[in-house]
Amino acid sequence: MDSGSPGTPTSQPGARKVVRVLSGERLWPPPIWMMRQAGRYLPEYRATRAEAGGFLELCYTPRLATEVTLQPIRRFGFDAAILFSDILVVPQALGQKLWFAEGEGPRLETFDLAALPLVDPATAIGRLAPVFEAVASIRAGLPAETTLLGFCGAPWTVATYMIAGRGTDDQGPARRAAQTDPAAVQRLIDLLVETSIGYLAAQVEAGADAVQIFDTWGGNLDDADFERFAVEPVRRIVEGLRGRGIGVPVIGFPKGAGARLPAYVARTDVSAVGLDWQASLGFVRDHVQPLAPVQGNLDPLRLVTGGAGLDAAIDRILGTLGAGPLVFNLGHGITPDGRIDNVTRMIERVRGAGEVRDHG
């Protein structure tokens, strides 16, 4: 890192493009990467996953995690790679049994919330050593100009899976717990905050240039619980990292935050914010981008449906958000039926974009 004071990362000339934008610079055309860019829409991913025997084997075998992380970089030349892992390795390291049933998504063995802590954060982080090994090996295999992103789940999103034991339509079980036993949920959140700080710090020490905190279910809370369980834990993670002298950009991704995005950015002090595809572009340009660089927000289904609709959706993002700091991305992960030809078309259109005229 440079000498920027903690909490205000500044980029140096020659820094990697995505880091420069996350640090507040506007680059044109904007750099681009894609959530879930290593995944089942790629035949080479499916082959490596079959070789590994399962998804978690991929995550915990540094050689294979490196291979799948690098696959979309080789194929598409994205400006950033994201560590291949999952947000749910943290609960597993904390002692909760985790498995992925084929085609069904994650399953966790439920436990008595009153019986916390499972294990202490330091023990959990020790168990995640293969992840840090993968980060170092990915960095060694990446082109010098490619940004490497580490990540974790936000405490609330991780807690929703830990409490329900699986993903549900509205994560009702965790919202119910937050309303009936807020103290027990708070203890779980506190454990996840501590673990996440150490986990992200270790990823940065192993070579991550920036980190993203995925809060897929943050927007699902009412105002008061959004503040308590989505905003405050992320604020503490950012503060904890800065307190350890870690100045790398931190991207918050509070999916579904909508009109609460400006408050989220201001209160958490994240360096940049990820936008889901429902985020209103004009609102973001006027009320979010003045506070922080933004990343997003193409509807992942555009990569299935393609055509002129894909081009127009890309142009609306570039036209409305292109005058400020923007990292082009999807509004959520690419789906397994996302088409490779549409990914190529998206990258060519973004990289070929001429100077923007504001569409607002």
Among all residues, which ones are annotated catalytic? 36, 40, 49, 86, 161
Q: Which of 216, 289, 297, 329 binds ligand CP3 (CB under 6 A)?
A: 216
Q: Which of 15, 64, 88, 250 binds ligand CP3 (CB under 6 A)?
A: 88
3-state secondary structure 233-247: HHHHHHHHHHHCCCC
Q: Give the span between the Cα atoms of 82 and 38, in whole angstroms.
A: 8
**Radius of gyration of the chain from Cα atoms?**
19
**With CB under 6 A as the contact rule, which of the stretches 31-39, 136-144, 266-274, 281-289 interacts with ligand CP3?**
31-39
Q: Give the span between the Cα atoms of 132 and 88, in whole angstroms.
A: 15
Q: Which is nearer to ligand CP3, 334 or 356 (CB)?
A: 334
Q: Give the span between the Cα atoms of 230 and 354, in whole angstroms.
A: 38
The annotation status of 24 as a binding-site residue, yes or no, is no
**Which are the contacts of 175, defined by CB distance < 8 A and separation ≥ 6?**
220, 221, 225
Q: Which of 76, 78, 84, 111 binds ligand CP3 (CB under 6 A)?
A: 84
- The reply to whether 139 sits near ligand CP3 by the rule CB under 6 A is no
The annotation status of 36 as a binding-site residue, yes or no, is yes
Q: Which is nearer to ligand CP3, 270 or 356 (CB)?
A: 270
The annotation status of 161 as a binding-site residue, yes or no, is yes
The nearest distance, CB 299 to ligand CP3, in angstroms, is 14
Q: Which of 16, 17, 20, 49 binds ligand CP3 (CB under 6 A)?
A: 49
- The reply to whether 40 sits near ligand CP3 by the rule CB under 6 A is yes
**With CB under 6 A as the contact rule, which of the stretches 91-99, 133-141, 151-159, 188-196 interacts with ligand CP3?**
151-159
Tell me which residue has tokens 């990362």.
Answer: 9
Residues touching ligand CP3, count (CB under 6 A): 22
Q: What does the chain come to in residues?
A: 360
The annotation status of 38 as a binding-site residue, yes or no, is yes
In the shown chain, the binding pattern of residues 321 to 340 toward ligand CP3, with x for contact by CB under 6 A and - for none, equals ------------x-------
- The reply to whether 93 sits near ligand CP3 by the rule CB under 6 A is no
- By CB under 6 A, name the binding residues for ligand CP3: 35-40, 49, 55, 82, 84, 86-88, 105-106, 151, 153, 157, 167, 214, 216, 333
Binding positions for substrate are 36-40, 86, 161, 216, 332
Binding positions are 36-40, 86, 161, 216, 332
